[in-house]
Structure 1
């Protein structure tokens, strides 16, 4: 029996759906829970024994992950064929038609995490989770959506895992920026407890054609088990075409058959070695994967809040600097004192934690709480908010990242699902400062009191920034203790690297200035996030800011 599930199709409605599993001979459609297909092994063609060796385990769960276009789904399809007992001339493409994007190989052709269950004639149950490709050229938001898909599928269907299988192209000599980013995502998604369960299959390669240098892998993955595979499924289409061509004689057909059979036999040997390794792995629970994902989302939210705080700090710096200069200018001192009092009592926007998920705007100088609380399941992709969140109207699923918010007017790409909410808080001058100003016997004394209060405000600004950084550091430490990479900042650097790669690709293709500007804005955004995590005290820019503020407000 073979089952297929695509658990996170956000546009599916209701509990059942008609889905299609296609092969070379046709399509079988079955009504089952959303995107769930069942091919019964009671059919005559499905009664063959598995080609692969028997295992000690009776249940094996595999997560297949890798860069866009590396051949994950093709490998999964080969495994289905072999577990179902198909010989070299019986190979068929098995895939979830509804999960295909129809896009180019540089854009993930698997749009949803798809869960396959294969029960062999001997009773072995194999669960394969085929995931959308990472390093998608449609952008980081698309990858974030794919990560949410992967985590959601694991959370919904997989309580434990036997192995994580990373698929990579063996013809590439060294890590490209896209591959490096993919591995960065992988090592940040999985806990260190699972490191012994991670293996690589390098596609399109054997010992004579392998170009990949394993020393270019991240240090954490260099000891991972590796296999080489020339997938015979990549040959079967051309074999069938040429074997039926009137221009190919029997001798040539025999040669093609031998080539296909040799590739098939070598693949069976390789996958038997891999299956033996899987059989020896200790089963790992998946709850830490979900915990890591939630921590990373929490870090992102806190970094956004920190960047908002930095923006406020910069604005306050400019205002206090003007006040400072005017307090020292005899002609402007009176107005400067009034400005100081107004500044001390001006309301301020802050972002506070919330028990519920809210759709909030993160556009510059916008503090919109656009849908609070939002009753949608947590969404990591702004396009999904534009599609389904009521802040963007009744879209019936046809919205996207360019949808306009009915409340604040900004696009969905400037909105996030956060456990935070924007609060406009009134401010009152401290009673001590108010009393001192009231009791001052001269304007000069008032000016000195205002200057002292300004310096205290700057000190408080630095303390608040340090506390924000402390919270972020605590979350990052939790993340680093769990993850394989142990380096959240390193992951941000990989994001920047792949964005810079995409910019070069767009530039070489003559893309419009607006397209390049969007990439530039994303790069700048991630560089600011990285700055929050780096420096002598992490938020080095805040420390520098506080020092410069004190210096600028000191008496000359």
Structure 2
């Protein structure tokens, strides 16, 4: 029987109260179920508080979203369920294949004298079926309608995928269909778990190129996919922190590996923010007509 370690942790990050809306950096996160959007957000919170993994281990872990994962003891082969935080109406991690994020939510972080807003969304490819995916997608459009602008859209994928879920392809095409052509330069590709592919896109690169080539032929819109707008992260260092906070010790080689992962991801975050700041923001009003947005907002509940 799996052992379950769980601790309630609170984050100490507070947004800049006096940052005006037009100074906020708003980013929409999109990806298949299980791609790691929530872990990405949790890892980011710890990166902005501590410069190094060693400092983070000795500090309070920042838990923005409840998280759960399995860990196998190398000596006993016993599986342990590691949980940080508790499930709530927005987040669940007990049902395989079902999107952990149940509703769109925003998480705001202070970046200098500005705020960075990460908009987390339900994963695409929910096992509850196409109707649930359609509902999730409509909620995403309704949710972003409350904001004045988007600075970027992150399309989040894993490296070395053998195929892209058909619902993921459909949803990306639908999103691109709604976006004003000007935002195409604000689309960025975020690879999670990239340590497993030596921080390269792997076979997923060809799948995305085929997807955007088809989109170009059908809609005459070129979506750039290059090193400049591609970022490769590994958020496993957040799981390392969770293990440490649950009094599970890893050996020196494992610690060094997670330290390299932390250092690489921090550098990628810096490169990512530089890319975002180099591009103009995109008015949400260009994504949805006012009438369409109002219909969606009336139809769908929002947290």
* TM-score normalized by the length of structure 1: 0.40
Kept after mapping to 1: 8 A contact 2:236/2:258: yes
Kept after mapping to 2: 8 A contact 1:67/1:182: no
Alignment correspondent of 1:291: 289
Alignment correspondent of 1:191: 180
Alignment correspondent of 2:136: 146
Shift of 1:86: 5.8
Shift of 1:132: 1.0
Kept after mapping to 2: 8 A contact 1:69/1:105: no
CA pair 112-263 structure 1, distance change in 2 beyond 3 A: same
Which secondary structure does the structure 2 equivalent of 1:94 belong to?
coil
Q: How does 1:94-243 map to 2 (within 5 A)?
A: 94-95=64-65, 97-120=88-111, 122-156=112-146, 158-205=147-194, 206-207=198-199, 210-212=202-204, 213=206, 214-219=208-213, 220=221, 222-224=223-225, 225-233=229-237, 235-236=239-240, 240=244
Kept after mapping to 1: 8 A contact 2:33/2:124: yes
Kept after mapping to 2: 8 A contact 1:64/1:167: yes
1:228-266 CA distances to partner (integer Å, 9 max, x unpaired)? Answer: 222234641675389745xx6xxxx22222111100000
The range that moved more, 208-217 or 257-266, is: 208-217
CA distance in 2, matches of 1:241, 1:268: 21
Alignment correspondent of 2:76: none
Aligned mate of 1:275, from 273, 276, 292: 273
Aligned mate of 1:264, from 245, 262, 265: 262
Which secondary structure does the structure 1 equivalent of 2:299 belong to?
coil
Alignment correspondent of 2:44: 79
Q: How does 1:370-519 map to 2 (within 5 A)?
A: 377-379=298-300
CA distance in 1, matches of 2:127, 2:210: 23
Higher-Rg member (1/2): 1
Which secondary structure does the structure 2 equivalent of 1:164 belong to?
strand
Q: CA RMSD in A?
A: 3.4
Shift of 1:40: 5.8
CA pair 98-88 structure 1, distance change in 2 beyond 3 A: farther
CA distance in 1, matches of 2:257, 2:13: 32
CA pair 261-191 structure 1, distance change in 2 beyond 3 A: same
Kept after mapping to 2: 8 A contact 1:64/1:131: yes
CA distance in 2, matches of 1:234, 1:186: 30
